[in-house]
Amino acid sequence: MMDTLIERFPAQLKEALEIGNNSTINAHTETINKVYVAGLGGSGIGGNFAQDFIKEECKIPYIVGKGYDIPAWVDKHTLTIVSSYSGNTEETLSAFEQIKKTGSKIVCVASGGKLIAMSKEEGYDYIQLPDDWPSPRACLGFSMTQQVVILTKLGLISDTSLTQLKKSIDIVTFNQDDIKAEAKKVANFLINKIPIIYTTDRMEAVAVRLRQQINENAKMLCWHHVIPEMNHNEVLGWGIKNEDLAVLYFRNDDDFKRNSIRIDINKKIIANYTPNIMEVFSKGNTLIERSVYFINLGDWVSWYLSELRGVDAVEIDVINYLKGELAKV
């Protein structure tokens, strides 16, 4: 099933753009000078991608929160986006109750559940997503697109990001065979290893997404870090030979020159401790196009790893157990 959902990613992006185009987001009564996004898991990472997509254009802070509480600075001058695919995420609903007391501009994004019900009942703007996707982690296209839509409709950014998202559909559609072939190579490289994902700071959402997908779909532990920050700390952790570690670099032809140099130096350092180093370059002309390419590639990597490991990519028994135990308290 998960492979079918990944296959539908380009179609999901197209549908997400149509949903966003047909949505109604009313202007706020106050000047908006910051944005706060409440969301976790697949909905939270959508906020991270939107944050990366708009940071070169958006003139106000855009912060993603992934917990029960909200910052004290959320006020009537804040746009708050409350995102939960199911509409029932415990932490997000807790944040929503606090947000309602701030006088901020609230827009909810969900397929249904308590979040949409409360939005309708209490008169908040909302964007309702399709409810026929069985796995929230496969709904990233819906989440990140609607956040860009909201910012655009409120005049906080131009429509450039939406235009680029539309163009990115072609990137993954026309390169699908190559993406799958590359993903199989990466999966075979990572199997029976502990993956370490490195990329530059402007694409951290890409690394986070792949880490989460490997966790959930392949049922494997892994970690990520970004350059240049890891050059000030994690690089010192490479001091013991360990061939169980496999380093994957996600790179772009337009990465900042000094970061590209740093990556090349890092590879030389790390090669002293593990022979397992691989790099993959993106396709596309913009950050959004390159990110969407990596999203789809990484999703396929996680799927092929699940096949190689013989695990059910959709199964979330441990998460359901955790939620069940929480429900007892």
Share of the chain above pLDDT 90, in %: 91
Same domain assignment for residues 246 and 281: yes
Same domain assignment for residues 123 and 241: no
Of 55, 76, 120, 323, which one is the catalytic site residue? Answer: 323
Flag whether 167 is in a domain. no
Flag whether 163 is in a domain. no
For 143, half-sphere exposure in the C-beta direction (CA atoms, 13 angstrom radius) is: 28
Flag whether 275 is in a domain. yes
User: Which pLDDT does position 81 carry in this prediction?
Assistant: 98
List pLDDT tens digits, range 23-46: 999 999 999 999 999 999 989 999
Same domain assignment for residues 114 and 7: yes
CB 178 within 8 A of CB 263: no
Same domain assignment for residues 20 and 123: yes
Burial of 185 (0-12, 13-18, 19+ CB in 10 A): middle
Radius of gyration of the chain (CA): 20
Flag whether 314 is in a domain. no
Of 216, 224, 225, 283, which one is the catalytic site residue? Answer: 216
14 catalytic? Reply is no
User: Which pLDDT does position 96 carry in this prediction?
Assistant: 98
List pLDDT tens digits, range 104-120: 999 999 999 999 999 99
Flag whether 316 is in a domain. no
Same domain assignment for residues 119 and 216: no
Same domain assignment for residues 24 and 154: yes
pLDDT class of 136 with cuts at 50, 70, 90 = confident
Cα–Cα distances (Å) from 34 to 49, 78, 131, 149, 296, in that order, read 17, 5, 30, 16, 30
User: Which pLDDT does position 208 carry in this prediction?
Assistant: 97
CB 96 within 8 A of CB 114: no
Give the residue-averaged pLDDT of 87-100. Answer: 97
Question: What is the sign, positive or negative, of the torsion defined by CA atoms of 115, 117, 121, 126?
Answer: positive
User: Which pLDDT does position 274 carry in this prediction?
Assistant: 98
Same domain assignment for residues 126 and 152: yes
What does the block give as tokens for 163? 């235009």
Q: What integer best gives the mean pLDDT of the chain?
A: 96
Provide the edge-to-edge strand list for the sheet that holds 223-227: 223-227, 194-200, 245-251, 277-281
Q: Which of 110, 131, 158 represents a domain boundary (last residue)?
A: 158
Of 59, 101, 121, 232, which one is the catalytic site residue? Answer: 232
User: Which pLDDT does position 242 carry in this prediction?
Assistant: 97
Same domain assignment for residues 106 and 199: no
Please state, in angstroms and rounded to a whole number, the distance separating the CA atoms of residues 306 and 287: 28
Same domain assignment for residues 141 and 232: no
Flag whether 266 is in a domain. yes
User: Which pLDDT does position 132 carry in this prediction?
Assistant: 84
Same domain assignment for residues 109 and 192: no
List pLDDT tens digits, range 266-310: 999 999 999 999 999 999 999 999 999 999 999 999 999 999 999
Flag whether 320 is in a domain. no
Residue 174 has pLDDT above 80, yes or no: yes
Please state, in angstroms and rounded to a whole number, the distance separating the CA atoms of residues 307 and 304: 5
Number of domains in the chain: 2
User: Which pLDDT does position 1 carry in this prediction?
Assistant: 82
Same domain assignment for residues 18 and 147: yes
Flag whether 119 is in a domain. yes
Q: Which of 158, 188, 213 represents a domain boundary (last residue)?
A: 158
Domain that holds residue 78: 2-158
Give the residue-averaged pLDDT of 192-198. Answer: 98
Q: Which of 56-65, 128-137, 191-200 has the lowest mean pLDDT?
A: 128-137
Residue 211, domain CATH: 3.40.50.10490
User: Which pLDDT does position 285 carry in this prediction?
Assistant: 96
224 catalytic? Reply is no
Same domain assignment for residues 19 and 140: yes
216 catalytic? Reply is yes
